[in-house]
Amino acid sequence: MNIFHLEVLSAVAEQGTFSDAAINLEVSQSAVSRAVAALEAELGVVLLTRGVLGLNLHRSASG
């Protein structure tokens, strides 16, 4: 885990989509996806619920 992974998670939670978070962070969408996947793998929990209407923090990430 590094600060970038946490910044990405925060941006995705605020923006609601990987693509909007990527634009906000000025990185590629695949970099955002990889960062979230790496963070989820390291922590062993699902952090985002992916749905038709966008992304939401999963219960395990929202406290």
Range of the domain at 22: 3-62
Residue 12, H or E segment: helix 3-15
Total domains in the chain come to 1
For residue 60, the model assigns a pLDDT of: 60
CATH classification of the domain holding 53: 1.10.10.10
Least confidently predicted of 8-12, 20-24, 58-62: 58-62
For residue 55, the model assigns a pLDDT of: 73
In angstroms, rounded to a whole number, what is the distance separating the alpha carbons of residues 63 and 31? Answer: 26
| pLDDT tens digits for range 32-52 | 999 999 999 999 998 988 777
**pLDDT > 90 fraction of the chain, expressed in percent and rounded:** 63
User: If pLDDT is split at 50, 70 and 90, which confidence band does 63 have?
Assistant: low
In angstroms, rounded to a whole number, what is the distance separating the alpha carbons of residues 42 and 53? Answer: 26
